[in-house]
Structure 1
Amino acid sequence: MADRKPRILWANPYCLLDLSSGASMAVRQQLLELHKRGYEIAVLGATIFDSPTGITRLKKHWEKIQKSRQTSVMINDGPLKHRLVKTKSTTRAQMTAEEEARWYQLYTKLLDQFKPDLVYYYGGRTLDLLIGDEAHARGIPVAAYLANGNYRGTRWCRDVDLILTDSHATAKMYKEQDGIDVTPIGPFIDPTYVVAEERDPQNVLLVNPSLAKGAAIVIRLAMMLEEERPDITFEVVQSRGNWEALLRQVTKQFGEERSKLRNVIVTPNTSDMRPIYGRAKLLLALSLWWESFGRVATEAQANAIPVMATNRGGLPEAIQHNGILIDLDADLHKPPYNKVPNESTMQKLKKHLLHILDDDPYYKKLLERDVGEDNPNAITISTSRLDAALRQALEP
């Protein structure tokens, strides 16, 4: 350690360049920040994404990747180089045994050649479990990133020395649920790439329209306001969800199946959210599943956009005082998250939304708290927490 920079090998079949995965985006930013602090980084992944829309960052390379006769490709990403095993499908569940074997062979080769001081990964599938097992067999410490509430039991982390997460809420949940010690380090969002240069706030924004993210609630809100308030525009940014399919599904419950609402504009997945935040007046983060943090809520905060969010998971930490928190019935927080709140609750949600949009003094009050350099969600503070946790894990 004293003779060279500390070396970290990130190893996981999911691609860190995936724009449909908040966890991938967070880890990529972590590695970029660690590189700035003197770490040597190697990245091993595959052409696996949470959603086909996640390849947006790789679009200019995608045709070349597909035509390549090599079984793996190297993608330059600034100071990071991503070695990606080529897969026939971009879906993790469809990764073949042959592709997994090829990935594992590259992983063991990197352990021998790169000689990492620590292996870092996430996941709980069989191949993922072998990552920690193989590293430990060679005496290499292992760290795992945990950014959801879906894991159960302790087998997935048996060969992990350090578990990192983004929120105190998730750390507390896993401690109470399974007795697992998890270290919260905060979010990793570089404001350079999310803060709009110019602001003309107009729209009500939803990012990643999926049932788990509360898309059904947003659809119902838009339906209620379509005639009553045609001046209010909802902007929906596609990610892993399919807005059109969900719209047909939800509108059918209320009498007429529709493929479009007049007060909704749909924006494709993008690698540059700044223009979208520039025209957003309010962000809706009405997640029904366990939102470990709420990346878009923190990005909205950086743009002085108030957030209307569910009071669950890490969302309260993400928005701090920059918005309002909504309590929903526990029944709505159960998979498959396709239930729409009753009419009374929907009327309350509509009232909250209109209060934020129409009451200028109230709107400004939601934005008046400037945490500045003391912002616990600042990337410099999160990086210091990460650096301290990793260096402790690297101590002999």
Structure 2
Amino acid sequence: MKPRILLLLPQSPFDNASGAAVSSRTIAETLAANNFTVQTLCPTTIEKHNPKHDHYQDLINLKLNPINKQYNNQTIYHFTHKNVEHTLLKTSLSSKDWQNDTHIADTFEQLLHQTLTTFKPHIVMTYGGSHRGPNWLNLIKQSQAALVLLIHNLAYKSANYFNAADLIIVPSQFTADHYHNLLGSTCTPLPIPINPTTIIPNQPRDPIFLTMINPSPEKGLFFAIHLAHHLATKRPDIPILFVESRATAGHLLAAAKQHNIDLTQHESIMVTPQTDDIRDIYQITRTLIMPSIIQETGGRVAAEALINAIPTITSDRGALPETVSTHGFPLPLPKTLNMQNLDAPITPQDTNQWLDLIIKLTDDQAFYTQASQNAKAAIPRFSPETFTQKLLACLNPLLIQIANPT
């Protein structure tokens, strides 16, 4: 008997700007490739919300060939990709708002009830915690499916959600320790799930840019602005690339203006739109920076850069030192800089250690080559084989219970 898995998400699993969505989809595809029958049920909403966004065209662009169906006067998209059967409920609302629309949220719960009744999953994997979450959990428990939580952030403050789970998977030991200390919960840390074919360029890399992906406040926007300004002033020969994601060029320039910095004066600083194929970015990246000011639970971008043998400089917040380990460079940020104090002063002294390392990676080719080799040595930690082995091992006790019900 093939174990049946339902992936239940509050956003599209094809939202490539969301590390949580990408990780969850990769888990589903990994299980489908290992003799599991896997379905998903999700809305079309994505984190970078635009009410006029054409989600159907997104699916077409990804060559997913969705079939339109009607359910309760709502459109659903149905398709199979990498042996995973997907059902997406169309909504033009944001990931924060769609569950506040009674008709949409009720329709989604009806679809969930129908899926639990007809597909009869042995395990439901999900994350969330919205006000509709308890309804989902009740339906799951009534179906007698095992509940696996895929936790990707530190937003959960109550143990109620965790206590309902049969297994809690997190992307780092840091996150497991956090929830053990906060809630007394036992979580299982797994490596960040990464599909190398989606992140490693097909052509040899042409390393040019110092790159930052998603220059948003939580990812270190204001620190990066000062760092880029100082670097572009001191070394205009070092090209800097900001890659839009949830944060756009407009956000970047406006934030710089708040700090009395005009980034447009620097010809070495460039901004490129978000891409559906991150391989294009890694192909031209020489060094990657990830100066997150939040307590990161994993650090997908840092792991992907390491796999591409890209020297990676991160902050020392959260799980980032664990993720890059000895393969990258975790550096400190000003201790006063956090999401509650975005206006904390950032001095040239605060950026000097980062600046010096970037310049050394640029000027000292032997040092750069060694840093690149150290980054590449992280590949076994994040290999599909390593992840699959650990994923199946942590699911095995549940599978034994399913095969031998009491």
State the TM-score, normalizing by the size of structure 1: 0.91
Q: Is 1:250 equivalent to 2:250 in the alignment?
A: no
Segments of structure 2 that go 5 or more residues without pairing to the other structure are: 402-406
Q: Distance in 1 between matches of 2:239 and 2:9?
A: 40
* Residue 310 of structure 1: how far off its partner (Å): 0.8
Aligned to 1:237: 243
Contact 1:356 1:362 in 2 (8 A): yes
Q: Is 1:97 equivalent to 2:102 in the alignment?
A: yes
In the alignment of these two chains, the number of paired residues is 392
Instruction: Report the AA paired with residue 78 of structure 2.
Output: M
Instruction: Report the AA paired with residue 17 of structure 1.
Output: F
Alignment deviations for residues 159-183 of structure 1 (CA, whole Å, 9 cap, x no partner): 2111001111111111112211110
SS of residue in 2 equivalent to 1:391: helix
Contact 2:78 2:86 in 1 (8 A): yes
Aligned to 1:227: 233
Contact 1:214 1:337 in 2 (8 A): no
* Residue 94 of structure 1: how far off its partner (Å): 4.2
Q: Distance in 1 between matches of 2:68 and 2:46?
A: 15
* Residue 348 of structure 1: how far off its partner (Å): 2.8
* Residue 258 of structure 1: how far off its partner (Å): 5.7
Aligned to 1:294: 299
Aligned to 1:268: 273
* Residue 194 of structure 1: how far off its partner (Å): 1.0
Contact 2:306 2:375 in 1 (8 A): no
How has the CA–CA distance of structure 1 residues 379 and 340 changed in structure 2, closer, same or farther, with 3 Å as cutoff? farther
How has the CA–CA distance of structure 1 residues 165 and 337 changed in structure 2, closer, same or farther, with 3 Å as cutoff? farther
Aligned to 1:60: 61
> 2:81 is matched with which residue: 77, 80, 85?
77
Instruction: Report the AA paired with residue 360 of structure 1.
Output: Q
How has the CA–CA distance of structure 1 residues 44 and 298 changed in structure 2, closer, same or farther, with 3 Å as cutoff? same
SS of residue in 2 equivalent to 1:126: coil
Contact 2:11 2:43 in 1 (8 A): yes
How has the CA–CA distance of structure 1 residues 118 and 336 changed in structure 2, closer, same or farther, with 3 Å as cutoff? farther
Aligned to 2:27: 30
Contact 1:292 1:313 in 2 (8 A): yes
Q: Distance in 1 between matches of 2:354 and 2:376?
A: 27
Q: Distance in 1 between matches of 2:342 and 2:296?
A: 13
Q: Distance in 1 between matches of 2:210 and 2:233?
A: 16
Contact 2:308 2:376 in 1 (8 A): no
Instruction: Report the AA paired with residue 58 of structure 1.
Output: L
Aligned to 2:125: 120
Instruction: Report the AA paired with residue 187 of structure 1.
Output: I
Map 1:138-177 → 2, pairs under 5 A: 138-177=143-182
How has the CA–CA distance of structure 1 residues 79 and 260 changed in structure 2, closer, same or farther, with 3 Å as cutoff? farther
Aligned to 2:220: 214
Q: Distance in 1 between matches of 2:333 and 2:197?
A: 34
How has the CA–CA distance of structure 1 residues 374 and 215 changed in structure 2, closer, same or farther, with 3 Å as cutoff? closer
Q: Distance in 2 between matches of 1:269 and 1:76?
A: 25
Aligned to 2:311: 306
Alignment deviations for residues 10-63 of structure 1 (CA, whole Å, 9 cap, x no partner): 112211010110010011111111111100001000011111389685363899
SS of residue in 2 equivalent to 1:365: helix
* Residue 253 of structure 1: how far off its partner (Å): 1.8
SS of residue in 1 equivalent to 2:181: helix
Q: Distance in 2 between matches of 1:337 and 1:75?
A: 43
Moved more, 324-333 or 365-374: 365-374
Q: Distance in 1 between matches of 2:370 and 2:66?
A: 51
Moved more, 326-335 or 303-312: 326-335
What is the root-mean-square deviation in Å for CA atoms of aligned residues? 2.6
Contact 1:142 1:161 in 2 (8 A): yes
Instruction: Report the AA paired with residue 97 of structure 1.
Output: T
How has the CA–CA distance of structure 1 residues 88 and 383 changed in structure 2, closer, same or farther, with 3 Å as cutoff? same
Contact 2:150 2:169 in 1 (8 A): yes
Contact 2:327 2:371 in 1 (8 A): yes
% same residue: 27
Map 1:314-329 → 2, pairs under 5 A: 314-329=319-334
Instruction: Report the AA paired with residue 26 of structure 2.
Output: Q
Q: Distance in 1 between matches of 2:215 and 2:310?
A: 19
Instruction: Report the AA paired with residue 330 of structure 1.
Output: K
SS of residue in 1 equivalent to 2:336: helix
Segments of structure 1 that go 5 or more residues without pairing to the other structure are: none
Aligned to 1:20: 17
Q: Is 1:40 equivalent to 2:37 in the alignment?
A: yes
How has the CA–CA distance of structure 1 residues 340 and 275 changed in structure 2, closer, same or farther, with 3 Å as cutoff? farther
Moved more, 112-121 or 170-179: 170-179
Alignment deviations for residues 348-370 of structure 1 (CA, whole Å, 9 cap, x no partner): 32222212222222222223337
Moved more, 107-116 or 154-163: 154-163
How has the CA–CA distance of structure 1 residues 193 and 142 changed in structure 2, closer, same or farther, with 3 Å as cutoff? same
SS of residue in 2 equivalent to 1:383: helix
Q: Distance in 1 between matches of 2:263 and 2:43?
A: 38
